[in-house]
Amino acid sequence: MKHTRRSFLATSALASVSAVSASKVIGANDRIRIGMIGMGGRGSGSARWFSKLEGVEIAAVCDADQKQIDRAKKQYPDAKGVQDLRKVIEDPDIDAVVISTANHWHVLASIWACQAGKDVYVEKPISHNIWEGRKLVEAARKYNRIVQGGTQQRSDELQDRIKAFLDSGKLGKIKYVRCNRYGMRDSIGKRDTPLPLPDSVDYDLWLGPAQDLPLYREKLHYDWHWDWNLGNGELGNWGPHIIDDLRNVVFRDQLKYPKRVIAGGGRLGWNDAGTTPNTHFVYMDCGDIPVIMDVHNLPRAKGVKGGDIYKRRRTGSFLIIECENGYYAGGRGGGRAYDLEGNQIEKFRGDGGGAHAQNFIDAMRSRKREELKAEIEDIHLSSAWCHLGNISYRLGAPYEREAAEAQVDFTGWKEVIEDFHAHLQANEIDPGNENVRLGAMLEIDAENETFVGSTATTPALNLLTRDYRRGYEVPSKV
């Protein structure tokens, strides 16, 4: 893989901006001017959060699609409307940027912002791959920037209360954890000819670091999630929220990486242009507390519509912590603890992390990154766990149930496979379908963020990073 240092910071103009911005100290009464980069659904939602904070101004709205800018300007008429994110980053009047682009832009835009002396709030997954996520952490440290990840539930005090309850011993020792994301989605279609690009889009800017490949889906926006070139599938979309809960509540960020990871699944039932799986299961060897994960976009049964989605094993809760004397089951904003007979013994309520944007602003003012609830290194790791599951899947071979069950001697893993087959049967999908895969068992070198042993193959190592388009390379040295 070739990396060249083509960061636009090399220009004298931006270097000058960096020196000015980095020396600026924001006082308690100073107005913080935010540049919003990416004005789709997530970016628009984040803009609403920040615009409601005292002492904060939405100073610029930026998107490669002029239509997105025009829509945002109706909400924020005093903000600058900018199509090129570099102009927002180099603007000396901007104090921080909120990056809500497609995943493939997250790291490069964030690194450029750090180099320009800006603080950064970047959406999850904070990276498109593990290597570049580490580069962002390095940039945040080198330029001494406040960098927050967009896993807002970190700012919900609920997580501390759940952790304290688990530590109290009322449920006994944790046996294993099950993470779930069950959410129906529709096919993204499959065109016979490449998608015509809207005149309102600067496609070179929209692509940025990604490869220029023809698109055969029906929509440019959002459905990039299901294309490996641009997104990270549902495991990379919802997974960072759920894995971040796991790392925070169960491991309290003490476990850097699992020892081993294996995944299986497939893109099934749709025959569309997507390349990421819509039904996915993962095992993470975390020592004394093994972790299993289900991520499914298909319905409970073929033809079912609406909210009646696939649910098994302790309902559709995000996080299910199985213990000696009972279990905890919950999601964003709340959860319940039960004894072994299923009787509720504790109820937990939160707000889902409504103070997350304020936490970022407070840390900008104090200049203390330890005050961040979702400091960039923690969210890099939570994103990377999801990337590992995707890498295993992408290295997969044709699925065989006996081979899958033999990989892990663990009751939870057997349950996941049993559920997977039940789910396929309900959707009238043959598990012998050529699109069903069982991935490689990856052995993780946590300190060096790489693979070891027999799975440290060239294909596996290549998936730790990517090829970047000329002119938009993530720099090896930040």
Architecture of domain 155-353+374-462: 2-Layer Sandwich (3.30)
Please indicate whether residue 15 or residue 388 has the higher confidence score (pLDDT): 388
- In this structure, of 132-141, 298-307, 381-390, 417-426, the range with the lowest mean pLDDT score is 298-307
Instruction: Tell me the pTM.
Output: 0.94
pLDDT of residue 266: 97
- What backbone torsions phi and psi does residue 134 show, to the nearest 5 degrees? -65, -35
Closest Cα to residue 390, out of 430, 432, 439?
439
Share of the chain above pLDDT 90, in %: 86
Domain regions of the chain by residue span = 8-153, 155-353+374-462
- Cβ neighbours for 304, distance < 8 A, ≥ 6 positions apart: none
Could you tell me the pLDDT band of residue 301, with boundaries at 50, 70 and 90?
A: confident
Helices (H) and strands (E) in the chain, counts: 15, 18
- What is the amino acid identity at position 310? Y
pLDDT of residue 304: 82
pLDDT, mean of residues 181-192? 94
Query: 454-468, pLDDT tens digit by residue?
Result: 989 999 999 999 999
pLDDT, mean of residues 404-416? 93
Cα separation, 442 vs 296, whole angstroms: 22
Packed helices 106-115 and 130-142: angle between N→C axes, nearest 10 degrees: 10
Could you tell me the pLDDT band of residue 182, with boundaries at 50, 70 and 90?
A: confident
Could you tell me the pLDDT band of residue 12, with boundaries at 50, 70 and 90?
A: very low
CATH number of 8-153: 3.40.50.720
pLDDT of residue 316: 67
Q: Is residue 105 pLDDT above 60, yes or no?
A: yes
In sequence order, what DSSP letters do the residues of 23-69 get, joined into one string? H----TTSPEEEEEE--SHHHHHHHHHHHTSTTEEEEEEE-SBHHHH
pLDDT, mean of residues 288-299? 94
